[in-house]
Structure 1
Amino acid sequence: MIDLDAAVTLPGEDFSRVALTRPAVRLLQKLWGIHGPLMFHQSGGCCDGSSPMCYPAGDFITAEADVLLGVFDIAPSDDDGVWPIEFWMSREQFEYWKHTHLTVDVVEGRGSGFSVEAPEGKRFLVRSRLI
């Protein structure tokens, strides 16, 4: 199920906390072609619960209230280097999820209008397992 693990970013850790499925990688390649550089933020927000939200990089401002869980290096479909995609989570949410590994997948259906995959008729979601 996992196609790509994120690079480790938390000090003192030697394991990836977040991964992408192959369908998620393919959708991110398509979205990068439309929107340019991308990022994820996972919050405990009210609108879509705890769905990962995908934004053009820099459109969601992160700060000390957020934790960088990993960075994905996505290979573009035309084999032109790699594209880094950061995966952030609110620090408060991380306190609840710190014992889990997250896998970002994609399913049919509309998520939030704020996340860039919404017009594609798809939505990102996370599947978790204890670590």
Structure 2
Amino acid sequence: MPDKVSLGKVSATPAAKTFLAEIIADHGPVLFHQSGGCCDGSSPMCYSQGDFIVGENDVWLGDIGETPVYISASQYQAWKHTDLIIDVVPGRGGMFSLDNEKRFLTRSTICATPSANGRD
């Protein structure tokens, strides 16, 4: 994974943390990549760490426990004034995402500054 500085702009609800622990127990270490697609725009995709290659243009938002969370640079530009909260709701996850039966969903809150460390 790229050597980048976490922006500390992501958290998770207790329900999402519990569901994430279940997925890790079944699949080992995972990562999230915030979808930028037309159909899954608010869905953080959950992948086994060896199954998704983080690109040079991906932005590391932070970690949920031991699980890193990334977003594409172009989508980060649109969402840089928000803090993302990973939640879980009923339904199926994205096409290649590991979540099943329940799915992860990104909620957001507007923050006062673009990031905790002053980066845009």
Question: Please, which runs of 5 or more residues in structure 1 have no aligned partner?
Answer: 1-7, 11-15, 74-83
Give the aligned length. Answer: 107
Supply the RMSD in Å over aligned alpha carbons: 1.3
For residues 48-127 of structure 1, the aligned pairs below 5 Å read 48-73=40-65, 84-118=66-100, 121-127=101-107
Which stretch has the larger CA shift, 84-93 or 48-57?
48-57
TM-score with structure 2 length normalisation? 0.83
Structure 1 segments, 4+ long, off by >3 Å, are none
Question: Structure 2 counterpart of 1:44, which letter?
Answer: G
Task: Say if 2:109 is the partner of 1:129.
Answer: yes
Is the CA contact 2:16–2:104 (under 8 Å) kept in the aligned structure 1? yes
Match of 1:21 in 2: 13
Q: CA deviation at 1:64?
A: 1.4
Shift of 1:50: 3.2
Q: Deviations over 1:39-92 (max 9, x none)?
A: 00003113422310000013111121100000122xxxxxxxxxx100000000
* SS of residue matched to 1:110: coil
Contact 1:52 1:126 in 2 (8 A): yes
Distance 2:6 2:40 in 1: 26
Say whether the 8 Å CA contact 2:44–2:105 is kept in structure 1. yes
Q: Which moved more, 1:43-52 or 1:32-41?
A: 43-52
Find the residue that maps to 1:127 and give its secondary structure: strand
CA contact (8 A) 1:51 1:126 kept: yes
What are structure 2's unaligned runs of at least 5 residues?
112-120
Provide the identity percentage. 51
